[in-house]
Structure 1
Amino acid sequence: MQGTRLGIIEKIGFGMGDAGNNMTFAAVVMYLSYFYTDVYGISPAVVGTIFLSMRFVDAVTDPLMGAIADRTHSRWGRFRPWLLFIPVPLAAACVLMFTTPDFSQGGKILYAFVTYAVMSLLYTAVNIPYCALGGVITSDHRERVSCQSWRFVLVGVAYLILNSGLLPLVEWFGGGDEAFGFQITMGLMCVIALGMYAFCFATVRERITPPVQSSRNPWRDLRTLAANPKWCIILSITFLQALQFFLRQGAAVYYANWVLGLGATGISLFVTLGVVGKMIGTAVSPLMTGRISKRSVFLGSTLLLILASALLFVIPGSTLIVATLVFILINFFHGIGTPVSWALMADAEDYGEWRNGHRLTGVSFAGNLFFLKLGLALGGGLIGFLLSWGGYDAGLEQQGSDALLAITLMLTLIPAAICVLMWGAIWLFGLDDRTMDRIHRDFEARSDARHAAEDDRASFEDDDMRPASTHPG
């Protein structure tokens, strides 16, 4: 095992990969529901159905992609080549997803489903290898937190670019044609994303080679992982964290628009301030985990996230500054826990290797990404269904009380309730820093014993091959 300390350029490079992901993915999280309902003219219930339906496909394609990545052999490694070849078609699919052809209502729904499906599949082909890359650049579990912190700081930069620029650019490029404005703006964002992917590919290296036999069946890999209780708990944490985050982020635009009464510039500023709060939380996370166990930091930040979310529910929309400050705090507490959760994923994988001798990096992170996307899908679906339940109508000048309540609940109490479940899962996870230190010391002892056995065998073979001494009779 190589507990390599990473240089600042490589940490930035690793973060740039996910920044590239989020130049497209954040647009899906924060604006696609709004684009479908308010620009393209699809009903909220249909939008929710589109988001949920792709997860049945992901149940097959995500572990398959993880198995393919684990079995990839190239001069660039197992996971890096996917960051070289897939981003260009992903960018094209994203632009098509934000394109509005003049079809019938049925044609619009079919077009939305197909383009969303293609984008999701290509995103899988990039993001699973990217996430797995974080598990093979170093085995130092503290260095992993630092690396993941840089990752999510740069994800925050991508969010800042997207949120501060997207709606104003849509207005500027569109000149009153919001659909055309979205298409051109997303094309620009995708070009920026391609540069980020290229920087990641050029600066990051794979150092840990997962000991995977190519003859192993991918479904057997999944059974091996399922026998690791820590991995199963991490899947639930990934799902719950994604669900509360994507639900809140998707609702933020509606909240800023209808509850706070902000225009395009005000919505961008509101969402951008939330991103800044998350970036600050992400930046201080490694400072906290350098002094306190990762698990304890995650537990504490999640508790504060619950309290801040509940507080925002009782704050009236007329108190714009107070509501914005609490929204920033919510994102700050979420930012503290985000890099920790991804570092815990790698800890769970280390635990599995320590327990059963198999390291299945690609399939392991594929499972996590599937549950992340399941959280995204359910979050997007809940937004559509709850808006429909509240009687939301994009054509109204003012929404009814039920619609406003649904929007507020999606930003506050529902994510808080999800975080309560997440806190319990973190508690059950159990692996703290002292346990991980013992596991890595055991890895080193096993490696030393293996090398000593190999040296003894080589010495024995040399003695066996040496000619016998002859003595005169």
Structure 2
Amino acid sequence: MRQNRVTLLEKIGFGMGDAGCNMSFAAVVMYLSYFYTDIYGLSPALVGVIFITMRVIDAITDPIMGFVADRTRTRWGKYRPYLLWVPIPLAISIFLLFTTPNWSDGAKVVYAFATYFLMSVLYTSVSIPYCSLGGVVTDDHKARVSFQSWRFFFAGVAYLILTASLLPLVELLGGGNEARGFQLTMGLMGIIALFMFGFCFATTRERVEPISEERKPLKQSLKALVKNERWLIILGITFLQATQFFLRQGASIYFATYVMMLSAGGISFFITAAIVGKMIGALISPWFTSRFSKTHVYMSTSLIITAGSIGLFFMPFEQMMITTLAFALVNLINGIGTPISWSMMADAEDYGEWKTGERNTGMAFSGNLFFLKVGLAVAGGLIGMMLAIGGYEAGVEAQSASAVLAITLMMTLIPALITLALAGAVWRFRLDDTRMDAIRTDLETRRSGGNASSMDAEAFPTGNMAPRPG
């Protein structure tokens, strides 16, 4: 029996959950490094140690949280309860994270490690259940693209709120005291995120039930995941998608400042245009996937981004509007593919359940989130490495030719190479709409107590790009 139709309100509610994630974690990604070095008083090297340490801890906490979420049993489901329980302590942890205690240097270092650890664990405790919710709202692989598109639209809304209001709020609430301003502003962002998570909890439902509810040990569940080769491919897709996106976004402020030579207003316009482009792309993604196989759409967008990134390298950078429009279009195409990549994560889990008889949605999504964080870390490392190779000098009005070239490469040819590899990984995924329809039908038969078919997923017809009727 087909699952209930996902309503527009539920799509908006699901999207608000990612807005809540970005009002907390994205704010940390965007501003914590500056806060630590320029306000809190830590050295850049120590800040790097803190960030790397947390990624190592994520490698442990992410799969544990996925394992716990998969085995949660409440009247609200497995994953939704965490959107109700965790955001309150998460908001408190963000307030504490951006608090500057009047302590000794050693005590402040311990406090920084402790508060970042607390925030990271709490964010993991809400983000993994939230992402897992995207795999159980519906079993319709086409509808998944639609509600994932709303997710990334509202993520863009959160980014716009942060970029437009955070620093002015720091000045307003701090009254000249940046430490106090960041503390109060980030506390406010945590409270806003709390209500966003609450709206997501209230408007969404979990509909997809696993074939078996048998609670297996962590080691056995991990073995079942590793047997799912589509999940392993998705990990690679997630890593490549995150790396190319965060590399380009991280380099954009350097590009606007030192290559395009824009003023503060021009820089803001350039970055905002990119965010809006990605939001539009996310919203129109379902239009394409309703007419063509989503894996074909995703592979096509990856190839277009590759070509667009190469083309951007040859743009007349002194022409602000032309270059800004080109960058916004690259982000728009990227926005079309992003909801598809997250819907494919749920498809890979459907395939895994079909193949092994075991569903581990939380653990599967925890792996994807970890590889996304690895992509973020690699992108940050690439930016630092390229700036060093190019001889970048902070605070100067104009950079050397080698530094300008390094910055330009991070915006253009390097993301192009990564996105070309992404297109190849999508081609290897092979779970197109025809295959997913067959898997979905077979899983429904099993859930209703019927006999599983002996179909071979690899032998499914590949489908084509012909538009579907209606």
Task: Give the TM-score range, shorter chain.
Answer: 0.7 to 0.9
Provide Cα deviations, 1:105-155, integer angstroms capped at 9, x if missing partner.
776665544433332221111010001111111111111111111111111
1:103 is displaced (CA, Å) by 6.8
Instruction: Say whether residues 1:90 and 2:90 are aligned partners.
Output: yes
* Residue of structure 1 in register with 2:186 after alignment: 186
What amino acid is the match of 1:206?
Answer: E
Q: Distance in 2 between matches of 1:63 and 1:365?
A: 9
Segment of structure 1 superposing worse, 168-177 or 356-365: 168-177
For structure 2, the residue ranges without an aligned partner over 5 or more in a row are 453-470
What amino acid is the match of 1:247?
Answer: L
Q: Distance in 2 between matches of 1:35 and 1:122?
A: 20
* Residue of structure 1 in register with 2:460 after alignment: none
Instruction: Say whether residues 1:125 and 2:122 are aligned partners.
Output: no
* Residue of structure 2 in register with 1:292 after alignment: 292
For structure 1, the residue ranges without an aligned partner over 5 or more in a row are 453-473
Q: Distance in 1 between matches of 2:183 and 2:69?
A: 32
Number of aligned residues:
452
* Residue of structure 2 in register with 1:23 after alignment: 23
* Residue of structure 2 in register with 1:77 after alignment: 77
* Residue of structure 1 in register with 2:167 after alignment: 167
Segment of structure 1 superposing worse, 41-50 or 298-307: 41-50
The change in CA–CA distance for 1:282 and 1:187 in structure 2 (over 3 A counts) is: same
1:264 is displaced (CA, Å) by 4.6
* Residue of structure 1 in register with 2:224 after alignment: 224
Segment of structure 1 superposing worse, 212-221 or 234-243: 212-221
1:174-323 matches, cutoff 5 A = 174=174, 177-211=177-211, 213=213, 215-315=215-315, 317-323=317-323
TM-score, with length taken from structure 2: 0.88
Q: Distance in 1 between matches of 2:402 and 2:41?
A: 21
1:93 is displaced (CA, Å) by 2.5
Q: Distance in 1 between matches of 2:400 and 2:107?
A: 30
Q: Distance in 2 between matches of 1:82 and 1:93?
A: 16
Q: Distance in 2 between matches of 1:183 and 1:403?
A: 35
Q: Distance in 2 between matches of 1:267 and 1:178?
A: 23
1:51-70 matches, cutoff 5 A = 51-70=51-70
Larger Rg: 1
Q: Distance in 2 between matches of 1:137 and 1:235?
A: 22
Q: Distance in 1 between matches of 2:259 and 2:179?
A: 24
1:23 is displaced (CA, Å) by 1.0
The 8 Å contact of residues 128 and 366 in structure 2, kept in 1 or not, is answered as yes
* Residue of structure 2 in register with 1:457 after alignment: none
Q: Distance in 1 between matches of 2:382 and 2:109?
A: 18
What amino acid is the match of 2:24?
Answer: T
SS of the counterpart of 2:138? coil
* Residue of structure 2 in register with 1:464 after alignment: none
Provide Cα deviations, 1:411-432, integer angstroms capped at 9, x if missing partner.
3322222111111100100110
The 8 Å contact of residues 3 and 207 in structure 2, kept in 1 or not, is answered as no
Consecutive aligned runs of 4 or more in structure 1 exceeding 6 Å deviation: 102-108
The 8 Å contact of residues 3 and 208 in structure 2, kept in 1 or not, is answered as no
What amino acid is the match of 2:268?
Answer: S
The 8 Å contact of residues 45 and 388 in structure 1, kept in 2 or not, is answered as no
* Residue of structure 1 in register with 2:423 after alignment: 423
* Residue of structure 2 in register with 1:6 after alignment: 6
Segment of structure 1 superposing worse, 180-189 or 103-112: 103-112
Q: Distance in 2 between matches of 1:384 and 1:69?
A: 36
SS of the counterpart of 1:443? helix
The change in CA–CA distance for 1:385 and 1:114 in structure 2 (over 3 A counts) is: farther
The 8 Å contact of residues 20 and 194 in structure 2, kept in 1 or not, is answered as yes
What amino acid is the match of 1:125?
Answer: S
Instruction: Say whether residues 1:411 and 2:411 are aligned partners.
Output: yes
The 8 Å contact of residues 30 and 249 in structure 1, kept in 2 or not, is answered as no
1:367 is displaced (CA, Å) by 1.1
SS of the counterpart of 2:450? helix
Q: Distance in 2 between matches of 1:400 and 1:209?
A: 59
1:244 is displaced (CA, Å) by 1.4
What amino acid is the match of 1:334?
Answer: N
The change in CA–CA distance for 1:31 and 1:303 in structure 2 (over 3 A counts) is: farther
Segment of structure 1 superposing worse, 36-45 or 325-334: 36-45
Q: Distance in 1 between matches of 2:209 and 2:312?
A: 46
Q: Distance in 2 between matches of 1:100 and 1:267?
A: 30
The 8 Å contact of residues 13 and 200 in structure 1, kept in 2 or not, is answered as yes
